[in-house]
Every structure is written in C-alpha cells, then in structure tokens.
Amino acid sequence: MGRNSDARPKILAAGRDLLARRGYSALGVAEICAAAGVPKGSFYYFFDSKQALAEAVIEDHWVEQRAQWAALLGSDKAPLERLRDLYDATTEVQRRAQKDTGAVTGCLFGNLALELSARDDEIQRRLQEIFDEQITLVAEVVDQAQRDGTIDVPDAREAARSLVAQLEGSVLFAKLRNDPGELDQLWPHTAALLGAKA
C-alpha cells in the first residue's frame, strides 16, 4: 500500500476502535495493522510508535467531539436544554456503539486517563487540557442558566467540573454494565440537583 494512499486514516480508525475496546497496554502495533489492513511499514511511515498513534487518535477524537459539544452547547436553545442535548448525545453515542460493536465503549479520554495517567506524561497533559476544555464549554452554559435564574449553584465552574465528573463516572458505569440505559436517569436527576426550576 503506497504512502500517499488511505493508509493513515485506516490506521487511525483501527487504532481508535481497538483503543476504545481493548485499552492501550493490551494492544500491539501488529494487531492494529492487521485490523487496518496495512503492512507494518506503512504504520511506521506515519507514526513513530503506538504512543504516537494514541496521541493522534486522541486529537482526532477531540476535534470531532469538541465540534459536537460546541454545536450543542452553543445552540440558540435555552441553556438547560442545551445541556440536556449534550446528555442525550452522550447517551446516543454509547447506545450506537453497543448496537454496532456489541459493547458500550465508554469515554476514550476517561479510559486512557485511568490506564495511562501514571505512566505517560505527554498523554496525561493532553487529557488534562481536553477535560479542562470540556469543563469550560459546560461552565459557559451553567453560567448562562445561572444568570437567567433557571438554576442556583454557588460557582459555575465548580458546578461544571462536578457535572463533567458525574457524566464521566456515569459513562464508566454504563461501560461496566454494558448498558447505555445507565445514562437514562442522569439528566432528570442532574437537572434536579442543579436546582433547576421545573
């Protein structure tokens, strides 16, 4: 397969799928190449190592997810409806993963955070930044809801951090139980916790 072919996107897609399903440590470059249908030479032409691929997968996934989060949280709906859209979209992603692959794959960032944070400074730092960006996106909406008077929290950023932590923990439960339904009760309960009026 030529080096100007579609080998790179194939490797990225296979890497993302395998990282989500099997984690980082259990994965080898040979397995990624087999799933992508490319020879090892192509892999090492585009990526220095499995770590370099993992970093590229993280970037790729965050570009997509950030665009989705920004669109949902920046729509012209009322702030709490935007937040609800984010929860619904998160549930839908897990439901689709289960339908397509048989398994709730969870959150790629959370999975890698727990598996690698004590071992890989570069990935650790990047994941910190990504979660910070997620919290910032959510904090803007929480702040707007607070100014609208539809919720009542002591601090918008701390509330957003709590919400993202809760979402992350709930996705972990959905993955552990292989049941996207774990996420169904999250929004109504979270809205109540935020002190949402109705």
Binding residues for a copy of itself, rule CB under 8 A, total 50
Query: Per rule CB under 8 A, is residue 103 in the interface with a copy of itself?
Result: yes
Query: Per rule CB under 8 A, is residue 170 in the interface with a copy of itself?
Result: yes
Determine which residue in the list 91, 105, 144, 146 makes contact with a copy of itself, applying CB under 8 A. Answer: 105
How many other β-carbons are positioned within 10 Å of the β-carbon of residue 112?
23
Q: How far is the CB of 188 from a copy of itself (least distance, A)?
A: 7
- In three-state secondary structure terms, 155 is coil
Q: How far is the CB of 1 from a copy of itself (least distance, A)?
A: 29
Alpha-carbon 146 to chain mean position: 26
Determine which residue in the list 2, 118, 149, 198 makes contact with a copy of itself, applying CB under 8 A. Answer: 118
Determine which residue in the list 16, 138, 153, 180 makes contact with a copy of itself, applying CB under 8 A. Answer: 153
Considering only residues 73 to 102 of the shown chain, the ones binding a copy of itself according to CB under 8 A are none
DSSP string, 61-95: HHHHHHHHHHHHHTSSS-HHHHHHHHHHHHHHHHH
Nearest to 172 by CA among 112, 118, 105: 105
* CA dist., res. 161 & res. 179, Å (int): 24
Query: Per rule CB under 8 A, is residue 37 in the interface with a copy of itself?
Result: no
73 or 171, CB closer to a copy of itself? 171
Query: Per rule CB under 8 A, is residue 196 in the interface with a copy of itself?
Result: no
Structural contact between residues 141 and 61, judged by C-beta atoms closer than 8 angstroms: no
Query: What single DSSP character describes residue 102?
Result: S
* CA dist., res. 160 & res. 153, Å (int): 10
Q: Of the ranges 4-12, 64-72, 114-122, 141-149, which one interacts with a copy of itself (CB under 8 A)?
A: 114-122
List the beta strands (DSSP E) in the chain.
none
Determine which residue in the list 37, 41, 181, 188 makes contact with a copy of itself, applying CB under 8 A. Answer: 188
Q: Amino acid identity, residue 146?
A: Q
Binding site for a copy of itself (CB under 8 A): 21-26, 103, 105-106, 110-111, 113-115, 117-119, 124, 127-128, 131, 153-155, 158-159, 161-162, 164-170, 172-173, 175-178, 185-186, 188-190, 192-195
